[in-house]
Amino acid sequence: MSGEKGRYFHHDSSFDPYSFFAPAALSGDPPLFTDFADFPQISSDYGLLARAFDLTCSPEHEPLRTDAGERWKLARDGFGTELTAAVHGNHTEGAAVGGTTRATANSSASSSSTEAAAEEVSGKHEKDQEDEEVVEEGKRGGDVDDGSDPEKANKKLKKTMKKGEKRQRQPRFAFMTKSEVDHLEDGYRWRKYGQKAVKNSPYPRSYYRCTTQKCAVKKRVERSCQDPAIVITTYEGQHTHHCPATVRGSSNLLEPSPASSSFRHDFLFQQLHAGGVPGTMEPSHHYQQVLLPDYGLLQDMISIRRS
DNA sequence: CGCCTTTGACCCGCGC
DNA sequence: GCGCGGGTCAAAGGCG
């Protein structure tokens, strides 16, 4: 795997994660991607993010391995935020996600300070990973019912689901953020629809749904019981619309408003379609990513640590 | 008034 | 079959 390259999200250190987009539907047995931005099978949004955030994975770093066999990659950028990204592949694999310690500038990084929290996430998803043939289902939320409320669609789906037919889940995409606030601003509007106590954790898990009509994206937010400073956010589904924050428009694309901390989706769009991969970054931090070989059914995890 | 959060109830899948 | 845990619903209330 050495030599493979990848790009990563970068997010401004003044803020927590911006917008994240769940991967689009997958199909077949996609090849192991070598570049986050060249990952259309999963989601152009990822590519958008990657390009917009201008993260590059330094090819000189050897991938690390975790017990679960994921490949880790170190990436670097010139920003002050530490980020760990992991993409979980097929749900038949309950993979643990390793973490990264905050690497000092120019060091080559890597241990597993967030491992516990990552495992937490991983374990949590193991069950989900078993039963998904989600790929095309990933789009279902937005497509299946032409125009009706996602909630209703869900109900409908449940009702029409044959006995023995497992409930389909949309691809997920999770990350950890070191933050004091639970619900991180990401540019989208969310409505909380539930909260549950988490077993073996003093911190509850909150459930949010995108308020945009026809958009069935959900996200769960919880704190790691291992490290309460870490917020684990899991996105499920794919937005069927642009980030509301971008609609308002701004010329300040590279400097998200501190007020909204919104991610510039339009900027991402431009970046993607411009095809340009930003230039070199000052390597001040290192990133790790887990890449699993099987993306047929996607479960992604992105971990982010703030400095 | 519209939108959001809160929260108890409910549904469902899974393990025993 | 039963209990548990995760996820969702929906009524009620709060807030701007």
pLDDT for A48-96, tens place per residue? Answer: 333 333 222 222 222 222 333 232 222 222 222 333 443 333 332 222 2
Across the range A175-204, mean pLDDT stands at: 82
pTM for this structure?
0.52
Task: Judge whether A81 lies within some domain.
Answer: no
Report, in ranges, which bases of strand C sit under 7 Å from a protein C-beta: 5-10
In a domain, A198, yes or no: yes
The answer to whether the CB of A250 falls within 8 A of the CB of A257 is yes
Check residue A207 and give its pLDDT.
93
Interior/surface letters A266-300, b for 16+ CB within 10 angstroms, e for the rest? bbbbebbeeeebbeebebbbbbbbbbbbbbbbbbb
Instruction: Find and give the residue nearest to B3, measured CA to C1'.
Output: A191
Residue A232 (CA) to nucleotide B5 (C1'), in angstroms, measures: 20
Query: Could you tell me if residue A50 is inside a domain?
Result: no
Decide if A257 is inside a domain: no
Is residue A44 a part of any domain in this protein? no
Question: Average per-residue pLDDT in chain A?
Answer: 46
Report which residue is nearest nucleotide C9 when distances run from CA to C1': A193
Q: Which nucleotide is nearest to A149 (CA to C1')?
A: C9
User: What's the domain range around A186?
Assistant: 177-240
How are beta strands A285-291 and A82-88 bridged, if at all? parallel
Q: Does the CB of A161 fall within 7 Å of any strand B atom?
A: yes
Summarised one tens digit per residue, pLDDT across range A203-228 is: 889 999 988 877 888 888 888 877 78
Is strand B less than 7 A from the beta carbon of A195? yes
* pLDDT class of A169 with cuts at 50, 70, 90: low
* Residue A154 belongs to a domain: no
For residue A219, is it within any domain? yes
In the three-class reduction of DSSP (H, G, I as helix; E, B as strand; rest coil), residue A264 is classed as coil
Instruction: Evaluate the CA torsion angle A151, A295, A49, A73 in order and state its sign.
Output: positive
Residues of chain A with pLDDT > 70, as a percent, come to 23
CA of A270 to C1' of C6 (A): 39
Nucleotides of B strand lying within 7 Å of any protein CB atom: 3-9, 11-15
Q: Is the pLDDT of residue A179 over 60?
A: yes
The answer to whether residue A208 sits within a structural domain is yes
Query: What does the alpha-carbon distance between residue A186 and residue A179 come to, in Å, rounded to a whole number?
Result: 13
What CATH number is associated with residue A183?
2.20.25.80
How many domains would you assign to chain A? 1
What is the Cα–Cα distance from A37 to A273, expressed in whole angstroms? 11
Maximum CA extent, chain A: 56
